[in-house]
């Protein structure tokens, strides 16, 4: 910010966060965001990726390959990844997990602005940030 003026990225970030409460593309889509808004969020995350602290990175939570073992006995339906999903490893614990095509695209475009985590580690990270009780 020079001369007291905010950048277009800062204004857009604030507007998207106020409207959707997140810059996570998948969550934004479920809340009604269009492709322009999602694209803006990805661009903001990519720009912010230079030296972005962990606490500000977007969490991309992915189901571990043992998801059905974790769901056993809960009454939830079995998890079946689509043919578009691919295997990757959790950035924290290294467990194998499934990543969807949109999450993969965001992770590739903005690696320094995202945390690709299994759902278990994503919950832990959210709790560390104080946003899950």
In the chain, domain spans: 1-48, 53-133
Average pLDDT along the chain: 85
Alpha carbon distance 54, 113 (integer Å): 8
Q: Is 100 exposed, middle or buried (0-12, 13-18, 19+ CB in 10 A)?
A: middle
Residue 48 token pair: 């912010």
> Predicted confidence band at 1 (pLDDT cuts at 50, 70, 90)?
very low
**Is residue 9 pLDDT above 50, yes or no?**
yes
pTM comes to 0.61
Alpha carbon distance 40, 34 (integer Å): 10
> Predicted confidence band at 89 (pLDDT cuts at 50, 70, 90)?
very high
């Amino acid at each position: 910010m020079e001369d007291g003026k905010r950048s277009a990225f800062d204004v857009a970030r604030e507007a998207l966060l106020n409207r959707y409460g997140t810059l996570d593309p998948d969550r934004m889509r479920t809340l009604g965001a269009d492709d322009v808004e999602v694209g803006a969020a990805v661009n903001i995350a990519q720009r912010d990726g230079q030296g972005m602290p962990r606490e500000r990175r977007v969490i991309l939570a992915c189901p571990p390959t043992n998801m059905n073992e974790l769901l056993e006995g809960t009454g939830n339906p079995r998890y079946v990844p689509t043919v578009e999903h691919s295997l990757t490893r959790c950035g924290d614990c290294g467990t194998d997990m499934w990543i969807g095509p949109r999450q993969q695209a965001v992770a590739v475009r903005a690696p320094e602005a995202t945390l690709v985590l299994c759902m278990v580690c994503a919950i832990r990270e959210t709790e560390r940030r104080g946003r899950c009780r």
